[in-house]
Structure 1
Amino acid sequence: MAIRPQQARPVPPPLVAALDALRRELGIPDDFRPEVHAATIRAAAAFPPGAPGSPVRKEERADHTNLALVTIDPEGSRDLDQAVFIEQTEGGFTVWYAIADVAAFVTAGDPVDLEAHRRGQTLYAPHQRTPLHPPELSEDTASLLPGQDRPAVLWCLGLDARGELQSTSVTRSLVRSRVQLTYREVQEQLDAGTAPRAWQLLRTVGQLRERIERERGGVSLRIPEQEVVVEQEQWHVVHRSALPVEGWNAQISLLTGIAAARLMLDARVGLLRTLPPAAESSVRKLRTTAEALSIPWPGDMSYPDFVHGLDPEIGAHAAMLYSCTLLFRGAGYEAFNGALPEQRAHSALATPYAHVTAPLRRLVDRYGSEICLAISAGRPVPDWVLAALPQLPAEMAASSRTASAYERGIVNMVEAMTLAPHAGEAFTATVVDVKPDGSRGTIVIRDPAVEVSLAVPGLPLGGAITVRLANVDVSEGRSEFELVQGTTPRQAPEATPGQSPVPQH
């Protein structure tokens, strides 16, 4: 599921009380305490470009304001973590990737830092953000907004002609983004052939990195995903198809995270994003599922190649993709200093990987950036970073549970609100998952975009069934369906929705 960044929007009356109750239940704050806002304002005032002692002074940072960096984000975003510029070289490509330098404004132990540790990550809802840092920082002073000189952690990644990583450097720099772009703007210009050379290179490098990902055994699942959107003050749930540029842009972030992990492992200190390898029994189960769905999977075909050939527009393939998610569970973080961790790789990516590209929105990225800056400069990792490392995995696990529960709760409420006028009506659904004992399954309805569990034994995996909306409770976000036969559905799609947004690893 996904909830896109939105500007402040009024909450539909049926959801006001339910949303308030959900936030209270999960302990989600409405604002920052006054001392946190005050500390943020003091930090911003102390570090204007060129001020004495400012970490953004040109003489104290490498000046890379000449780079034609751009940001590419969902429409309406203000917390801009990354800016990219790609140029072609004689032997391949140079990827410049600027990351917001949060540590230029936040000091270990100050009110902003302590609050960030309590929150862990930014939470999104259709009507508001609950940011990791106060908006004075995350949406203004530290954000890589266009036309503004900003302190940044600048990665310079050298690739060969095949897109393989050959060199890495990371420094504190001064940068200036040229323009804030949306994914749709970039995709439209690429499709029309009017995109600047640097954007065309984003496509080239992105496609090369996608190929390398498949070759090493990595997989990005194109599973249908729900998204809450707001249109003309109306909230509803849709299944959104990702644009190709979202995948190419994500590959630049993944490339940087892979480079960061290499630095950390070589220096034997860091914080990896990990995912345990799938059990062989799980892979065997997937082959059995493919056989049951009549999807060919030759014995000599790799798992990545098999997944890459699935079309989420086909009901059986959508069910297969849903089943593949069982190989992508249990992601976490591994902190280490000295001895290398036993679990080092992210099995979905088939390589070690670290989070360093979203420090405005995710706590661990600030620490990952500081580790890589120290390693690249040949300096010891700062003590304040080492002191925090052991607790970060647990802090991030807790915040991820909160984020997941918050998003799921909102989606359930909006589903129920959308369905409420249609009680008693029938729908066609695709069965995308069935429990091992066959007692129940998960069904997907295309319009409205609903994913619910159905307690009916013997559901046909990958098949289409007719269900009736039996009960709806908006306040609890509950929608209950029952299986019916011989009923004309209100919607009868032949396939499940298109490609989902690129998963956040």
Structure 2
Amino acid sequence: MKSLSDPARALANGLAAIRREFQVPASFPPEVLNAAERAATKPLTEHVDRTDRPFVTLDPASSTDLDQAFAIDRSGADLLLHYAIADVAWFVDDGGPIDAEAWRRGETLYLPDGKAGLYPPILSENVASLLPAGPRPAVIFTVRVDPDGDVRLDGAERAIIRSRAKLAYDNVRNEDLPHGFVELAARIAIAEQKRGASRIDPPEQEVARRGDGFALVFRPRLDSEIRNAALSLAANLAVADTLFAHQTGLYRVMPEPDERAVRRLRFTARAFAVVWPETMPLDIFEQGLNSADPKHAALMLAIRRAGGGAAYAPLTPGIVPWHSAMAARYAHATAPLRRLADRYVVRATLAVANGRPVADADTAAFETLPPVMARADALAAQIDRAVIDLAEAVMLDGKAGRSFSAVVTDADERGARIQLCDFPVVARIAGDDLAPGDTLDVTLTEADPERRTIRFDRNG
């Protein structure tokens, strides 16, 4: 953690500037809010009553847009995960004002001082959110998990549920959770190892409020959060297999990091003094990283970015959609309040699981969603990068003239990319004589929070 005092409001003002620069919406147009008010009163006429099932939610304590709730049963040696997904589609008419605005946004945007939701709060933080305040509409995926962690979708239905508790990652106890929660997560982890998945869940680097100031932190992933992610993974894998079997769907795909990216990662590891044996492949190395170690955490983030990122792709005849980190077919279906694409994947899964054809609107959406989601993902990534750039500039402000040790992680016609050894900071310096792996000392010559820039020169 790097504490960032903000007496001159450099961070606060910088965050406001980022919102203006990237045109982060502050609210919704009146016609969208009016449509959401009307939609919130829509009666639930196609949902079976499952309020007797003991669902709970598990999220960050402050979350109010709750996409998932879960209950777990046993079926012989198998575990049955009843995974309830917020039925936002019930409230959104295709082509209506809410739908059109969601297509413009693509996903919820998060900043340290607040979020810009995909849907109006009356839906995303009220009637469509799986809060324990009362009955809520959901689509329940029943996922069968066998002792080896292999998953299969047993069914999907629209249902009314009632969450028993809003549990939080940072204070949940095992006894608060459905019996079988820990075992189910362990089964999924075993299956990942068996198929050679290299999925990693690094802690999130973020700017967090701390009293009157801020801090640049790696938010550690707690055991409860990692196990909860396993439930979502199980559902998304089962959905992907179901849709693929019916030759439809929208998938997350990701290529393997190329040779140059792996070489750059090795130099990044060297910068952090993390031992990576020359003969050890990336997928084995990353499984040994400890997210509680800040240097490992920074390296995990670099590994996640090295493959060029995941993308959305509709099913293409003759091509098996593949996600290299998952080592499997994979779809996004479990966060429809926060991602536009999930709403259509949920609807398609509900159709095929009940022997109905996928609606033409959903099939068409699978073809048109990839560029929309790519644009939304890119905007979210740009905002995240801008926030980190701002935090780094504030953190280094006033340190001009100070020397830092660094390692070159990459070099091209634009100069060299360096990783500071003692700070999670990446920067560029001029120099056509530098090669990846070179170690050097650099001097900070500029840190400008207003422009979100930092600049270093080589010593000597």
Instruction: Give the structure 1 partner of residue 122 of structure 2.
Output: 136
Deviations 1:310-365 (A, max 9, x none): 446779967865664465214211124xx536250111111111110000000000
Preserved CA contact (<8 Å) 2:240 2:330: yes
Q: Could you tell me the TM-score, scaled by structure 1's length?
A: 0.80
1:63 aligned onto 2:38: no
In 1, distance between residues paired with 2:341 and 2:422?
36
In 2, distance between residues paired with 1:451 and 1:130?
28
Matches within 5 A, 1:74-473: 74-186=60-172, 189-190=173-174, 195-196=175-176, 198=178, 201-221=180-200, 223=202, 225-279=204-258, 281=259, 285=263, 295-296=276-277, 298=279, 303-311=282-290, 321=300, 324-325=303-304, 328-336=307-315, 340=317, 342-426=319-403, 431=407, 433-435=409-411, 439-444=415-420, 450-455=425-430, 458=434, 461=437, 467-473=442-448
Residue 161 of structure 1 and its aligned partner are, at CA, apart by 1.8
Q: Give secondary structure in 2 for the equivalent of 1:351.
A: coil
Q: Which letter does structure 2 place at the counterpart of 1:366?
A: R
Residue 390 of structure 1 and its aligned partner are, at CA, apart by 1.6
Residue 123 of structure 1 and its aligned partner are, at CA, apart by 0.2
CA 1:65–1:453: 2 relative to 1, 3 Å: farther
CA 1:483–1:146: 2 relative to 1, 3 Å: farther
- More displaced 10-residue stretch of structure 1: 431-440 or 410-419: 431-440
Preserved CA contact (<8 Å) 2:109 2:380: yes
Preserved CA contact (<8 Å) 2:264 2:436: no
Deviations 1:182-233 (A, max 9, x none): 11112xx24xxxx2462x6322222221221122121123556521101113
Residue 136 of structure 1 and its aligned partner are, at CA, apart by 1.1
Deviations 1:74-98 (A, max 9, x none): 2311111111222344212111111
Preserved CA contact (<8 Å) 1:438 1:458: no
CA 1:101–1:313: 2 relative to 1, 3 Å: closer
Q: Give secondary structure in 1 for the equivalent of 2:392.
A: helix
RMSD of aligned residue pairs (Cα, Å): 3.2
1:480 aligned onto 2:455: yes
In 2, distance between residues paired with 1:445 and 1:40?
50
- More displaced 10-residue stretch of structure 1: 341-350 or 110-119: 341-350
List runs of 5+ in structure 1 lacking aligned partners: 1-9, 48-53, 486-505
Deviations 1:147-185 (A, max 9, x none): 320000111111112222144311111111111121111
CA 1:75–1:430: 2 relative to 1, 3 Å: farther
In 2, distance between residues paired with 1:323 and 1:411?
14
Q: Could you tell me the TM-score, scaled by structure 2's length?
A: 0.87
1:25 aligned onto 2:21: yes
Q: Which letter does structure 2 place at the counterpart of 1:65?
A: T
Preserved CA contact (<8 Å) 1:219 1:304: yes
List runs of 5+ in structure 2 lacking aligned partners: 1-5
CA 1:297–1:210: 2 relative to 1, 3 Å: farther
In 2, distance between residues paired with 1:441 and 1:333?
29
Q: Give secondary structure in 1 for the equivalent of 2:73.
A: strand
Preserved CA contact (<8 Å) 1:444 1:450: yes
In 2, distance between residues paired with 1:417 and 1:469?
13
In 1, distance between residues paired with 2:310 and 2:216?
26
Equivalent pairs counted in the alignment come to 451
Q: Which letter does structure 1 place at the counterpart of 2:344?
A: Y
Q: Give secondary structure in 2 for the equivalent of 1:349.
A: coil
